[in-house]
Amino acid sequence: MFRAEPLYRVQIMVLASEAQDMALELARFGVFSPARFEDQTLPENPADAYREAWLEAESRLAKLAERCGLTEPPEVPADAVPPSLTDLIGLNNWLGNVWSTCLSATESETRIQEELRHLDALEETLDKLARLDVDLAHLLRADGLLAVHIGSLPSAAVKRVTEALAMTGSLVSLFDHVGDQTYAVIAGPRERDAEVRGVLAQAGWRELPVPVELRTHPDAARAWLAQMRREVEARSGAECAAIDALRAQFRPRLEGARLSLILARPLAEAALVGVRGRGGLACLTGWIPRRQLEALRSALDARFHGRYWLQTAEPARHEASKVPSLVRHPAWLRPFAPLVKAYGVPRYGEFDPTLPFAFTYLLLFGAMFGDIGHGGVILLLAVALRRFLGRFVWVGVSAGAVSMLFGLLYGSVFGYEDLFEPVWLSPLHHPTHVLTLAVTFGVGFISLTLLINARNRLVAGQGAHALFDSGGLAGLVFYLGAVAGLASLAGALDLATPAWSVAAIGLVTVVVYKWAESHAGLGERILVTLIEALETGINLFANTLSFMRVAAFSLNHVALALAVFTLAQGLSFAGHWITIVLGNVVIIVLEGAIVAIQALRLMYYEGFSRFYSGDGREFVPLRLVGAK
Amino acid sequence: MSAYLNTRVSLFSGRLWHAEDYDALMQVADEDIGDALNRRGLPQLARGFDNRDPLSLEQRIIAEVLDETRVLLRPLHGAERAFLIYWTERFEVTNLKTLLRGKMTGERPAALLARLTPMGAFGRLDAQTLAHAEDVVELLRRLEAGPYAGIVRQARRAFEDSRDPFMLDAALDRHYYEGLVRRAQPLEDALGAPMRKLMGALIDRINLVWLLRYRFNYNLPPAQVYFLLVASRYALPSAMLRELAALGSFDAVLGALPAPMRARLADTTDIAALFARMDGSAAELAGRILRSGAPPLARAFAYLLLRERDLRAVRAILRGRHLGLPADDIRLAIAHDPGGNA
């Protein structure tokens, strides 16, 4: 629970023709995280073609699933086998054909819809055509000297088209505007019509086919439009029926295709990281938990009957940054893990701070926001919003519960401090005591982080850093000595001489280490060493004082409640209770949020920054995705 | 913030190359090229130099430009920020053209994706989905639902009729540069002559090169040529472009240019030479603005223009070396590099 599971680096060699079966088996096993290991002896990428075909097929299936309404994830039978490369390419081609068929049907339907919109526009422009006050039949004669075009173009292109067509001696007359389209009549000399058409083609011009009927009587024109609409709608109905038929025809096989692609996915995903090979062999490389190696061997033996070769190796120390971290948490702790991951993933071998984080975070939150009533509201709100909060509901419930516990210790209910005697103490009446406790807690917290940092450095093979650096044991010795020395000065302890001696030993050790570590010229070396030694002291004590905010917020909580009561006192009965309720809402929302953030800040800044690199890689195993 | 940008631009300007740097790169030993590029502030190029794939080289060059643009963007906001971000969008327009051409030729999605320039935070296209479109019709439909909807919707019908990729390419390029001119307008008003001169040099060069290319290489009629040019208000305004497009020969066009431009372009006989001459004077102008006390954004823009010019030359040198060309031929290629779209 406190560190990532020990992993083995594994290489599994298998016949290239069985690589997809191996990847599927590993995905079913669920603890193989693929990774690339450079190996000059395996120069080929035997799974690249598989991945490419899978990606294309997956994309086609996703589009078809959207059209055909495939939503239910399929069951994956235990004996299901993934498609071979040939099968996958065949499946991909079939999906391509189905999608092309579907696409052309959809495209036809889209065009029909466009035609219907066009007819709408035509109907709208019919009146305006009538107002053109020209004899269209005469104007549109094919044998006239003038070439005339009636149609629409994007409004944004009108100015440019007008200028360009002026160069051909053509006139542009605008007569309607629908949406972003402008309707126009363009007339120019017939011998330059090719030029006009060239410009219009480039400009997105859409010619209005003005039929004979439209050029004569308006009633005849409307009848013609209605007839056209009926024809288009009939075609639309036919296309819809065709699409439905396609859906019914292809759906069963599409379900099968989806299962095949789910089974093919593990190799396609492994290929992204790199499945290397040579000749007829493929090699899958990655990481598995050490304790599951034998189980994996058994599973592979049962499936492949010895037709594979598995090699394992311990990760070398220098590879720690490349090894993924697999940390398992008990169910009750898992909701806190994302808050730790928000800072970073623990490096392989590094201390995983999720458990101390959860305890300390809750402790800090409760101490700063101790109130039975407010904690109860947070608890109930978390339960009420459980669908929205998901697994974070547990964080809300536990924060509420701890707040209630501290409320009991402080004797506070919705800000009322006099309903019952505090089990421990009231922050308002013992502010110095609370401040001292907060700082003492800070000393303990920082000491713990220094110890953890020393441990992390030791594990990473940085023994000197762990022992002599300011963030290691020497820093801790200095810190504890200085704290005891200061406590003695304040009269809390009587250990001044030994305490300052210990602090001096710690500080000198740090200074000597910094000096040895620095590789600059003499002047720069002196400067760096002095500044870093000074920074050691300032940082540690500034961070310790930072914990005073815990006490400050617990006092602040009471003070806010007092302010609400003072406001409410001068009001009538109704006003009094409205003020009390609203005041408590403000305290819960505003102060609750601030305290939650402050507790997180203390954890990240005063805690994690001292020992937690958080630059690890997450262990992402191959899994069967998209299945029930 | 303007102090930050000014300082940053001044620091960056130390990375710009001079003629002797090009010569040095031509003469450096093969195994030292990575180091030489690193020393000259081109880590992206140096990192991938072992892989001499020219397309990867192109992608690395763009990555270098995007990296530096990202740094220059930090202190900017509002219209200035939008302008520099839009300046990077032409790489995405190139990606868009690659996608369209790839789909027209039925290129495999994986191969197509490998040819696209990774745009990082500057990218607006969902390259994965677009590369997996079944054909160009599906691709266009998908594009109509994205940031290029306006231009694609306009060009799709024309393209469906003709199946001519030129239609789409020309429409995308024109749309892009008109967008740039539109975004530059308020900045020219606010920042004055330096910004206006930089934009003028850029757009005039683009318009003149396109005009000559469309008119005399593609033999398009004048009206269509004019329609494909960028609406401009610089040294070659729209009215003049109409006149130039109507002329019948390269020399006639050169003869009808405004006097200062005509003097600069005297003796040029082809489009490549004309481009090189205009590019050279634009670079001189950008250099002057970079060294001057011009507003920070104008200096940043001038730096980016010069930086890309450098990188084009570095690309020519690296490719030339890869092909084993003599140094003189490479120098000639640098002098006549016709650039990206213009």
Which DSSP string corresponds to B204-239?
HHHHHHHHHIIIIIS---HHHHHHHSPP--SSS-HH
Query: Which backbone phi and psi does A278 adopt, to 5 degrees?
Result: -160, 135
- Identify whether the C-beta of residue A184 lies closer than 8 Å to the C-beta of residue B239: no
pLDDT for the residue numbered A324:
93
Q: What is the mean pLDDT of residues A176-183?
A: 81
pLDDT band with cut points at 50, 70 and 90 for residue B44: confident
Residue A18 within any structural domain of the chain: yes
Whether residue A517 is found in the same domain as residue A383: yes
Q: Which of B224, B243, B244 has the highest number of chain A CBs within 10 A, making it the mutation to test binding with A?
A: B224
pLDDT for residue B223 is more than 90 = yes
What sign results for the dihedral spanned by CA atoms B24, B25, B27, B31? positive
**HSE, side-chain direction, 13 A CA sphere, residue A44:** 11
Chain B CB contacts of A60 under 8 Å are 132, 134
Q: What is the mean pLDDT of residues A253-260?
A: 90
H helical segments located in B14-147 = 19-27, 33-39, 43-47, 54-73, 78-104, 109-115, 127-131, 136-143
Q: Which of A199, A205, A206 has the highest number of chain B CBs within 10 A, making it the mutation to test binding with B?
A: A199
pLDDT for the residue numbered A128:
65
Tell me which of A157, A191, A220 is where a domain ends.
A220
Number of structural domains found in chain A: 3
**Percentage of residues of chain A with pLDDT beyond 90:** 49
Cβ-nearest to B231 among A52, A56, A160: A160
Q: Does A167 touch chain B (CB under 8 A)?
A: yes
pLDDT band with cut points at 50, 70 and 90 for residue A503: very high
Q: Which residue has the tokens 């001519």?
A: B164
Q: What is the mean pLDDT of residues A579-602?
A: 93
pLDDT for the residue numbered A522:
83
This complex has an ipTM of 0.84
Whichever domain contains A300, its CATH number is 3.30.70.240
Q: What is the mean pLDDT of residues A287-305?
A: 93
> Which residue type, as a one-letter code, is found at position B310?
D
Whether residue A462 is found in the same domain as residue A529: yes
Extract the tokens encoding B89. 């969008």
pLDDT for the residue numbered A131:
62
Residue A90 within any structural domain of the chain: no
Q: Which residue has the tokens 């505003």?
A: A590
Lowest mean pLDDT among A103-117, A274-288, A440-454, B309-323: A103-117
* Residue-wise pLDDT tens digits, A378-395: 999 999 999 988 888 999
Tell me which of A288, A304, A326 is where a domain ends.
A326
Q: What are the residues whose beta carbons fall under 8 Å from the beta carbon of A21, sequence distance 6 or more?
A: A14, A81, A82, A303, A304
Distance CA B145, CA B84 (A): 25
Nearest Cα residue to B238 out of A80, A212, A164 = A164
Whichever domain contains A193, its CATH number is 3.30.70.2750
Q: What are the residues whose beta carbons fall under 8 Å from the beta carbon of A203, sequence distance 6 or more?
A: A153, A154, A157, A160, A161, B154, B158, B227
Residue A238 within any structural domain of the chain: no
Q: What are the residues whose beta carbons fall under 8 Å from the beta carbon of A477, sequence distance 6 or more?
A: A502, A503, A505, A506, A509
Whether residue A394 is found in the same domain as residue A542: yes
**Percentage of residues of chain B with pLDDT beyond 90:** 43
pLDDT band with cut points at 50, 70 and 90 for residue A114: confident
Whether residue A535 is found in the same domain as residue A406: yes
Domain of A286 in residue numbering reads as: 1-47+274-326
pLDDT for the residue numbered B50:
55
Residue A233 within any structural domain of the chain: no
Query: Which backbone phi and psi does A222 adopt, to 5 degrees?
Result: -65, -40
The rounded mean pLDDT for chain A is: 88
Distance CA B133, CA A541 (A): 61
pLDDT for the residue numbered A135:
63
Integer angstrom CA distances of residue B251 from B237, B271, B282:
19, 11, 22
- Residue A505 burial by CB count (10 A; 0-12/13-18/19+): exposed, middle or buried? middle
Q: Which of A192, A202, A205, A207 has the highest number of chain B CBs within 10 A, making it the mutation to test binding with B?
A: A202
pLDDT for the residue numbered A318:
80
The rounded mean pLDDT for chain B is: 86
* Residue-wise pLDDT tens digits, B79-91: 999 999 999 999 9
pLDDT band with cut points at 50, 70 and 90 for residue A87: very high
Distance CA B73, CA B86 (A): 11
Whether residue A22 is found in the same domain as residue A135: no
pLDDT band with cut points at 50, 70 and 90 for residue A210: low
pLDDT for the residue numbered A138:
66
Distance CA A620, CA A194 (A): 62
pLDDT band with cut points at 50, 70 and 90 for residue A460: confident
Q: What is the mean pLDDT of residues A347-360?
A: 91
User: Which chain B residues in 201-260 lie under 8 Å from chain A, judged by CB atoms?
Assistant: 220-224, 226-228, 231, 238, 242, 245-246
- Identify whether the C-beta of residue A628 lies closer than 8 Å to the C-beta of residue A74: yes
Q: How far is B307 from chain A (nearest CA, A)?
A: 34
pLDDT for the residue numbered A297:
93
Cα separation of the two ends of chain A: 30
Distance CA B230, CA B207 (A): 6
Nearest Cα residue to B45 out of B34, B31, B54 = B34
Whether residue A309 is found in the same domain as residue A214: no
Whether residue A388 is found in the same domain as residue A469: yes
Whether residue A353 is found in the same domain as residue A494: yes
A434/B49: higher pLDDT: A434
pLDDT band with cut points at 50, 70 and 90 for residue B169: confident
Whether residue A465 is found in the same domain as residue A349: yes
pLDDT for the residue numbered A273:
84
Identify which of A201-215, A318-332, B7-21, B220-234 has the greatest average pLDDT: B220-234
Whether residue A314 is found in the same domain as residue A343: no
- Identify whether the C-beta of residue A37 lies closer than 8 Å to the C-beta of residue A275: no
Identify which of A218-227, B23-32, B180-189 has the greatest average pLDDT: B180-189
pLDDT for the residue numbered B48:
66
Residue A402 within any structural domain of the chain: yes
Query: Which backbone phi and psi does A14 adopt, to 5 degrees?
Result: -150, 160
Cβ neighbours around A184 below 10 Å, total: 24
Distance CA A10, CA A314 (A): 9
Whether residue A167 is found in the same domain as residue A295: no
Nearest Cα residue to B190 out of B298, B286, B70 = B298
pLDDT for residue B55 is more than 70 = no
Whether residue A456 is found in the same domain as residue A591: yes
Q: Does B19 touch chain A (CB under 8 A)?
A: no
Cβ neighbours around A156 below 10 Å, total: 16
- Identify whether the C-beta of residue A314 lies closer than 8 Å to the C-beta of residue A28: no
Residue A398 within any structural domain of the chain: yes
Residue A492 within any structural domain of the chain: yes
Enter the pTM of the model: 0.72
pLDDT band with cut points at 50, 70 and 90 for residue B26: confident
Q: How far is B234 from chain A (nearest CA, A)?
A: 17
Tell me which of A188, A220, A252 is where a domain ends.
A220
pLDDT for residue A134 is more than 90 = no
Residue A106 within any structural domain of the chain: no
Cβ neighbours around A88 below 10 Å, total: 26
pLDDT for the residue numbered A529:
87
pLDDT for the residue numbered B81:
94
Cβ-nearest to A163 among B156, B171, B238: B238
Q: Which residue of B has its CA nearest to A51?
A: B110
- The DSSP string of A186-207 is EEEEGGGHHHHHHHHHHTT-EE
